[in-house]
Amino acid sequence: MNMNYTADELAFRNEVRSFLEEKLPADIAAKVKSGRRLNRDDHERWQQILSKQGWYATHWPKEYGGVEWSAVQKHIWDEESNRYGAPRVIPFGVSMVAPVIIKFGTEEQRQYYLPRILSGEDWWCQGYSEPGAGSDLASVKTRAVRDGDHYIVNGQKTWTTLGQHANKIFCLVRTNTEVKAQEGISFLLMDMDAPGVTVRPIITLDGEHEVNEVFFDDVKVPVENLVGEEDKGWTYAKYLLTYERTGLAGIGNSKAALEHLKGIASRQRKNGRPLLEDPTFAARVAQIEIDLQAASMSNLRIIASVEGGGVPGAESSMLKVRGTEIRQAISDLARRALGPYAQPFPEEELQDNYDGDYLADPHGAAVSPQYFNLRKLSIFGGSNEIQKNIVSKMILGL
Q: Which domains does the chain have, with CATH numbers?
A: 9-89 (1.10.540.10), 123-231 (2.40.110.10), 249-394 (1.20.140.10)
pLDDT at 241 over 80: no
- Spell out the residues 6+ positions from residue 184 whose beta carbon is closer than 8 angstroms to its own: 174, 175, 176, 177, 178, 231
Q: pTM for the full model?
A: 0.84
Average pLDDT over residues 343-362: 52
| Span 176-230, pLDDT tens digits | 999 988 899 999 999 999 999 999 999 987 778 999 999 999 999 999 999 999 9
Residue 35 has phi, psi (to 5 degrees) of 80, 15
Q: How far is CA 347 from the centre of its chain?
A: 24
pLDDT at 20 over 80: yes
Tell which wins on pLDDT, 363 or 374. 374
pLDDT at 346 over 60: no
Residue 189 has phi, psi (to 5 degrees) of -100, 130
d(CA 156, CA 213): 7
Catalogue the active-site residues.
244
Burial class (CB in 10 A: 0-12, 13-18, 19+), 34: middle
Separate counts of helices (H) and strands (E) for the chain: 13, 10
What is the maximum span of the chain, computed from C-alpha positions, in angstroms?
75
Q: How many CB atoms lie within 10 A of CB 195?
A: 9
Beta strands in the chain (DSSP E): 124-127, 143-147, 150-157, 168-174, 185-191, 197-203, 209-222, 226-227, 269-270, 273-274
Of 219, 221, 216, 228, which Cα lies nearest the Cα of 150?
221
Of 82, 336, 380, 325, which Cα lies nearest the Cα of 210?
380
| Span 275-333, pLDDT tens digits | 999 999 999 999 999 999 998 888 777 766 655 555 556 777 788 889 899 999 999 99
d(CA 358, CA 360): 7
For β-strands 168-174 and 124-127, DSSP reports them as parallel
| Band (357; pLDDT cuts 50, 70, 90) | very low
Average pLDDT over residues 63-69: 92
| Span 122-180, pLDDT tens digits | 999 999 999 987 767 788 999 999 999 999 999 999 999 999 999 999 999 999 999 98
| Span 245-278, pLDDT tens digits | 566 678 888 998 999 899 889 988 888 899 999 9
